[in-house]
């Protein structure tokens, strides 16, 4: 029985091996036409891919050339800019001082601040030569023009003080003409209008109002209003009107005096 069993198992194994060989033989079988068709297909695909690779390689080379050309142009442009405006270290120095000036301009409160900026910082930013060209760089140009506009606006502002204390010898036109006030004596009506009904403060027994613009007293603290362009124009018109009124009064007074001189004592 044991010998018979071994014989059966051995025959079964050999049969399985034969079946495997048959399967492999059936998978590998291919006629010449099929084989040639596949070879033609693969050859065509290879040719097509080789052509695509050649085209892409040429495009890459063109892109590399274009990149190299543009890089050289950019470097030449940068070198040209530095040759025109100065060295890298000069640029860094200018950049720092420009930023400092920009902060002070943005914080400008009035004519005194604007005057200090123009005196202390503006010459450096706009000086002829390298700095004058440096401000033309795109990084600075628009900001530079914005600072110029801000300084002009700042110079036109009246100082925002709490008040001005009258001292002996002052008058409204003198006060208005001070550089720290309006720098224009003809704007005195603006100060009068702001204080005629009440000043900021005054010492004991000193008038708290200014009904007459010709009568102000030491110790009075006057309001100094900030003026728009329209308010300045209005104040100038009032000054002109006041001068005309004084001139008419003076002429009339002089005429009355002449009449008195020629009038006989008895009135005839």
Q: What is the mean pLDDT of the chain?
A: 80
Confidence of residue 11 (pLDDT cuts 50, 70, 90): low
What average pLDDT does this structure show over 252-268?
42
Give me the pLDDT at residue 8, please: 45
For residue 17, give both structure tokens. Answer: 């091996």
How does pLDDT run across 78-109, given as a tens digit for each residue?
777 677 667 788 888 889 989 999 999 998 87
Query: Which one is predicted more confidently, 126 or 17?
Result: 126
DSSP E strands, 166-209: none
Question: What is the pTM for the complete model shown?
Answer: 0.39
- Evaluate the CA torsion angle 39, 41, 42, 44 in order and state its sign: positive
What is the DSSP secondary structure assignment for residue 201, as one 8-state letter? B
pLDDT value at 266 more than 50? no
Contact present, 85 and 134 (Cβ < 8 Å): yes
The structural domains of the chain, with segments of one domain joined by +, span: 86-156, 164-260
Contacts of 232 by beta carbon, 8 Å cutoff, 6+ apart: 182, 184, 187, 190
Query: Which one is predicted more confidently, 184 or 24?
Result: 184
């Amino acid at each position: 029985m044991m010998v018979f069993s071994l014989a059966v198992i051995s025959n079964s194994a050999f049969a399985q091996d034969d079946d495997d060989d048959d399967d492999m033989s059936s998978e590998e079988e291919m006629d010449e036409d099929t084989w040639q068709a596949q070879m033609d297909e693969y050859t065509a695909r290879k040719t097509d891919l080789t052509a695509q690779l050649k085209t892409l390689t040429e495009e890459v080379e063109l892109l590399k050339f274009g990149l190299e050309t543009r890089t050289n142009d950019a470097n030449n442009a940068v070198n040209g800019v530095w040759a025109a405006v100065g060295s890298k270290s000069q640029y860094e120095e200018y950049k720092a001082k420009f930023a400092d000036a920009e902060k002070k301009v943005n914080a400008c409160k009035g004519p005194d601040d604007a005057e200090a900026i123009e005196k202390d910082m503006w010459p450096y930013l706009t000086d002829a030569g390298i700095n004058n060209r440096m401000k033309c760089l795109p990084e600075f140009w628009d900001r530079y023009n914005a600072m110029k506009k801000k300084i002009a606006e700042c110079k036109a502002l009246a100082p925002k003080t709490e008040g001005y204390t009258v001292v002996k010898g002052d008058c409204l036109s003198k006060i208005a003409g001070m550089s720290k006030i309006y720098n224009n004596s003809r704007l005195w009506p603006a100060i009068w209008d702001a204080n005629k009904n009440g000043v900021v403060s005054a010492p004991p027994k000193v008038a708290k109002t200014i009904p007459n613009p010709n009568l102000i007293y030491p110790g009075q603290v006057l309001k100094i209003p900030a003026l728009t362009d329209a308010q300045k124009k209005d104040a100038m018109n009032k000054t002109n009107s006041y001068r005309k009124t004084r001139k008419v009064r003076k002429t009339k007074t002089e005429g009355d005096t002449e009449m008195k001189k020629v009038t006989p004592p008895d009135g005839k």
